[in-house]
Amino acid sequence: MDYNDIFNQAQTLNLYGRLISLRRPIIMGVVNATPDSFFSSSRVKNDKEIIHKVNQMIEQGATIIDLGGCSTRPNAEFVSENEELDRVLPIIKLLKHEFPLIIISIDTFRARVASKALESGASMVNDISGGQLDEEMFSIISDYKAPYILTHFGGTIDNFVQPVVYKNLIKDMLDYFEDKVNQLTQLGHRELIIDLGFGFSKTVSQNYEVLQYLELFKIFNLPILVGLSRKSMIYKELNIKPEEALNGTTVLHTIALNKGAKILRVHDVKAAQEAIILCEKIIS
């Protein structure tokens, strides 16, 4: 497949006619409508707290807000689909009322949640399963023509955060993305972002191998999103807590930016923005 003939969007994100330039990397701020996300500061409890947090993220430079209602941290128990909808739909409506131009990404692996969220004002879908936990997902996002974050997912619903045995990690990932991108393009879907799935179905050392070879995934000519913020590959390696992992996060963000990452999914917008500003000084 000649991806350059099919896609011409590695530098642009099209949200229903609203073009977001990716010539300069952008930031996706994480907001969790869950009581048990691994980093407590990403959780929100009431409308006032939600509005304050999102306003702060926007002021600090976030372009997208990624909203999740079902924790995917290690050992988390998935809430029901209805509970997930009850958590996220009121927040989407609240944020669209308070910030009419806000870009909301719904973080879900469930097609029905994605559909209802898009109907309520979300603009894109962030699916950690690459469409593998709900067979209707690809059909839904293609029907809506919603930008879709396609994540590398090597596990199952029961062990998606557990390491997987790969024949050749990087080659297996490249084959995975080629297959998934082919499936989506055959459905007529073109607004794709790839997420290398740091922290999902990989050991700590495998996560660093993926980071080392991140630039190879530019072959797809699609924007690359990295979700490194305060993850276990940082705090386990440094023997610290997630709350202490901001410095390590910034180090890895700097590496990822230098290797071609276009979207940083983060808990700490200000620090990520500073990393982008400084990296711009040396990245042409």
Q: Could you list the active site residues?
A: 231, 265
Q: Which residues pair with 274 in a beta bridge?
A: none
CA nearest 128: which of 198, 192, 181?
Answer: 198
Write the CA distances from 167 to 164, 173, 175, 176, integer angstroms.
10, 10, 12, 13
Contacts of residue 212, Cβ cutoff 8 Å, sequence gap at least 6 = none
Q: Which residues pair with 192 in a beta bridge?
A: 148
HSE at residue 220, side-chain half, CA atoms within 13 A, is: 27
Helices 246-258, 204-212: inter-axial angle, 10-degree rounding: 30
HSE at residue 134, side-chain half, CA atoms within 13 A, is: 17
Helical H segments across the chain, by residue range: 3-6, 47-60, 81-98, 111-120, 137-144, 169-186, 204-212, 232-238, 246-258, 269-279
